[in-house]
């Protein structure tokens, strides 16, 4: 069981055990867990964020430069009175077979964008990294919506409409599909790099789609 549930009350831990046994067939258990997790994540977001040491310059990409371009062209009103998120390269994941890869993430607690270092390679177009930066800035600019069932919606209609209006959206999606296999292989070649630890990252990977 994830360390995220270490502070959970006994009834929540029992629900987790039952959910692991029967999965989403137990609708009430599923809803109760969703509600508790949602409350805990909201509490985490409101907690005082930790200072993050930003690493913006890679071998091929300067994230600070890219973010400044995107903010100037796409988010001038959203960040006119408040600073945009801090941006940094994250750390490569563990050397294991993958079927998916999170290329970027936005942490609202720390107001921090992390970009996967796999994108700091000469075969990755600069305009593609620019799109990933735009996507994460969009998460910072558009508040999380709520669906009819009360659950968080991270890519709601407003988000999707604005994302599709981005100049490089179509070719970025096409490029990612064409090169996903190559991107998935690259982190496994950098296994010596440390991994991100902590319950928040583990649960975030489960709950938050990119």
Is 1 part of any domain? Answer: no
145: in domain:
yes
| Residue 3 domain-assigned (yes or no) | no
Q: Which of 205, 210, 7, 206 shows the shortest CA–CA distance to 93?
A: 205
Claim to verify: residue 58 and residue 153 sit in the same structural domain: yes
Q: What pLDDT, on the 0 to 100 scale, is given for residue 147?
A: 76
Question: Is the same domain home to 174 and 195?
Answer: yes
* pLDDT of 48 above 60: no
Burial bucket for residue 116 (CB in 10 Å: 0-12, 13-18, 19+): buried
Q: How many of the other CB atoms lie within 10 Å of CB of 113?
A: 25
- pLDDT in the model for residue 204: 45
- What pLDDT is attached to residue 74? 96
Partner residues linked to 105 by β-bridges: 114
Query: Do 167 and 121 share a structural domain?
Result: yes
Task: For residue 43, report the phi and psi dihedrals to the nearest 5 degrees.
Answer: -65, -40
Do 131 and 98 belong to one domain? Answer: yes
pTM of the model: 0.65
Q: Which domain holds residue 193?
A: 51-207
- Region 29-36: what's the mean pLDDT? 62
One domain for residues 125 and 177: yes
pLDDT of residue 177: 95
Same domain, 158 and 144: yes
Mean pLDDT of 134-143: 95
Q: Taking 80 as the threshold, does the pLDDT of residue 180 lie above it?
A: yes
């Amino acid at each position: 069981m994830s360390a995220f549930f270490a502070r959970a009350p006994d009834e929540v831990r029992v629900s987790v055990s039952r959910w692991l046994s029967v999965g989403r067939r137990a609708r009430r258990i599923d809803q109760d867990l969703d509600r508790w997790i949602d409350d805990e994540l909201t509490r985490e977001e409101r907690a005082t964020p930790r200072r993050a040491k930003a690493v913006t310059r890679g071998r091929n990409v300067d994230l600070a430069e890219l973010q400044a371009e995107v903010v100037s062209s796409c988010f001038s009103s959203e960040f006119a009175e408040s600073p945009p998120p801090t941006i940094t390269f994250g750390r490569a994941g563990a050397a294991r077979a993958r079927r998916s890869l999170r290329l970027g993430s936005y942490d609202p607690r720390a107001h921090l964008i992390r970009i996967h270092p796999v994108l700091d390679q000469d075969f990755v177009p600069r305009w593609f990294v620019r799109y990933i930066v735009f996507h994460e800035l969009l998460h910072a600019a558009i508040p999380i919506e709520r669906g009819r069932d009360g659950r968080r919606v991270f890519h709601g209609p407003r988000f999707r409409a604005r994302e599709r209006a981005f100049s490089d959206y179509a070719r970025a999606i096409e490029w990612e599909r064409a090169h996903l296999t190559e991107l998935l292989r690259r982190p496994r070649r950098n296994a010596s790099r440390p991994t991100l630890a902590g319950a928040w990252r583990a649960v975030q990977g489960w709950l938050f789609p990119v």
